[in-house]
């Protein structure tokens, strides 16, 4: 796991102002190697879907929901009930990359992941050979406040400095973004964002 110090954030607290930094950490997502299935079709069911729990950053889980050549992912601790109901993906066939970037709030000795940046590969229109790459920025579900959702999309294909743009969205949105109420930030560059599907924010 490698970390790169990117920027800093000033947080107003009771008493003197405290300076906290935001840095990046990276984890690898390998469903076949590191994840455990917690829901699969019945033996007599001819459906193609599965749900997995995978290791994330320092005990924060990553939940992967797969169905019909599409994925939906929840980062952190999900709300009670069925987290698969809050499906957030793309309408076209898609898959996620193997590396997850976590944006970590560092406040003294405390470190908390506040957002993730994950590269998705989304099928382009018929006749196009290459996938459209999208950096999806998501809020991390915390132990106390179990809210996680898409906060932003940065189309990496045809968009310079896409990673820096995704980090800026993550850092600016993570503290105040209200899942189910606020709309994700979109930075499409020269290539239109593939149509999202599902979720209160997904369109």
Provide the pLDDT confidence category of residue 85 given band limits of 50, 70 and 90: confident
pLDDT for residue 20:
84
Q: 30 vs 74, 77, 150, 155, CA distance in Å? A: 15, 19, 21, 23
pLDDT for residue 12:
35
Q: 19 vs 11, 22, 110, CA distance in Å? A: 6, 10, 12
- Please state, in angstroms and rounded to a whole number, the distance separating the CA atoms of residues 170 and 203: 20
Does the residue 75 lie in any domain?
yes
Does the residue 10 lie in any domain?
no
Does the residue 86 lie in any domain?
yes
Does the residue 1 lie in any domain?
no
Looking at the chain, the whole-number percentage of residues with pLDDT higher than 70 is 87
Our count of domains for the chain comes to 1
Provide the pLDDT confidence category of residue 19 given band limits of 50, 70 and 90: low
Q: Domain range holding 36?
A: 26-197
Looking at the chain, the whole-number percentage of residues with pLDDT higher than 90 is 79
Residue 83: pLDDT over 80: no
- Please state, in angstroms and rounded to a whole number, the distance separating the CA atoms of residues 136 and 85: 19
Structure pTM? 0.88
Does the residue 9 lie in any domain?
no
Does the residue 123 lie in any domain?
yes
pLDDT for residue 198:
85
Does the residue 17 lie in any domain?
no
Query: Do residues 75 and 84 touch, judged by C-beta distance below 8 A?
Result: no
Provide the pLDDT confidence category of residue 84 given band limits of 50, 70 and 90: confident
Give the residue with greater pLDDT, 127 vs 147.
147
pLDDT for residue 129:
78
Please state the rounded mean pLDDT for residues 99-104. 98
Give the residue with greater pLDDT, 119 vs 202.
119
Does the residue 35 lie in any domain?
yes
pLDDT, the chain, mean: 89
């Amino acid at each position: 796991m490698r970390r790169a110090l990117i920027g800093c954030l000033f947080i107003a607290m009771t008493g003197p102002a405290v300076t906290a930094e935001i840095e990046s950490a990276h984890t690898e997502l390998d469903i076949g190697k590191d994840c455990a299935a917690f829901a699969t079709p019945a033996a007599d069911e001819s459906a193609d879907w599965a749900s997995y729990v995978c290791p994330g950053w320092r005990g924060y889980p990553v939940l992967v929901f797969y169905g019909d050549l599409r994925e939906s992912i929840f980062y952190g601790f999900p709300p009670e009930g069925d987290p698969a109901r809050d499906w957030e993906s793309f309408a076209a066939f898609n898959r996620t990359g193997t590396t997850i970037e976590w944006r970590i709030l560092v406040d003294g000795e405390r470190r908390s992941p506040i957002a993730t940046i994950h590269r998705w590969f989304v099928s382009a229109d018929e006749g196009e050979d290459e996938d459209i790459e999208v950096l999806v920025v998501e809020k991390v579900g915390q132990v106390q406040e179990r809210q996680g959702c898409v906060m932003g999309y940065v189309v990496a294909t045809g968009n310079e400095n896409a990673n820096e743009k995704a980090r800026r969205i993550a850092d600016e949105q993570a503290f105040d973004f209200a899942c189910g109420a606020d709309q994700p930030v979109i930075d499409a560059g020269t290539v239109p964002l593939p149509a999202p599907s599902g979720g209160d924010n997904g369109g």
